[in-house]
Amino acid sequence: MAATIVEWFIHAMDGLPAELIVFVVSMIPIVELRGGIICSSLLQLPVMRGVGFCLLGNMIPVPLILLFITPVFAWLKTTRLFRPMVEKLETRSLGKSEQVRKYEFWGLVLFVGIPLPGTGAWTGSLIAALLGIRFRKALPAVYAGLLIATAIMCVISYLIPSLIAGVM
């Protein structure tokens, strides 16, 4: 699924610098860093250059989510239009929060770091904010998780394809 979304973004943003495409894709919820690294690989950016833009794109929203999502959600819940959507997001996020609730810092690191569907910096930051984990603890945990996810995705998107190409 991520590859299909990434390919759509590559075609939609055709003509823009590859670095900008990778940066924007990495900022988008759900796709995030995982999609950014796949995008970087498909656009044949060198690993370190692509990773830098992916990390930057995925790191920028994190402090904003940690600091502002709770008051924004509280305000949105006062409206008839957005209340159901916000409550659904909160329920869905908190449903995935067991390891984060139990282990806090390390739970958040692992939640963000293991690149599975429904995990990542956006959801991890949302969970941390909803659970009331302090900013000083949540921000480094999410960033550490991003570094783990980056390493895993680089192996999947860069190393394995180059090993396969070398064998063939």
Q: Residue 164 falls within a domain, yes or no?
A: no
66 and 141 share one domain: yes
pLDDT digits (tens, 9 = 90+) for 24-41: 999 999 899 999 999 999
| 7, two tokens | 């390919």
Q: Is residue 2 pLDDT above 70, yes or no?
A: no
> Predicted confidence band at 9 (pLDDT cuts at 50, 70, 90)?
confident
81 and 24 share one domain: no
pLDDT digits (tens, 9 = 90+) for 101-142: 999 999 999 999 998 888 999 999 999 999 999 999 999 999
Report pLDDT for 1: 58
74 and 142 share one domain: yes
What pTM value is reported for the model? 0.88
AA letter at 47: V
68 and 93 share one domain: yes
68 and 142 share one domain: yes
55 and 67 share one domain: no
Helical H segments across the chain, by residue range? 2-12, 18-27, 32-42, 47-59, 61-76, 83-95, 98-103, 105-113, 121-131, 135-154, 160-167
- How far is it, in rounded angstroms, from Cα 23 to Cα 4? 17
Range of the domain at 101: 61-147
Q: Residue 114 falls within a domain, yes or no?
A: yes
Instruction: Name the domain count of the chain.
Output: 2
Residues in the chain: 168
71 and 41 share one domain: no
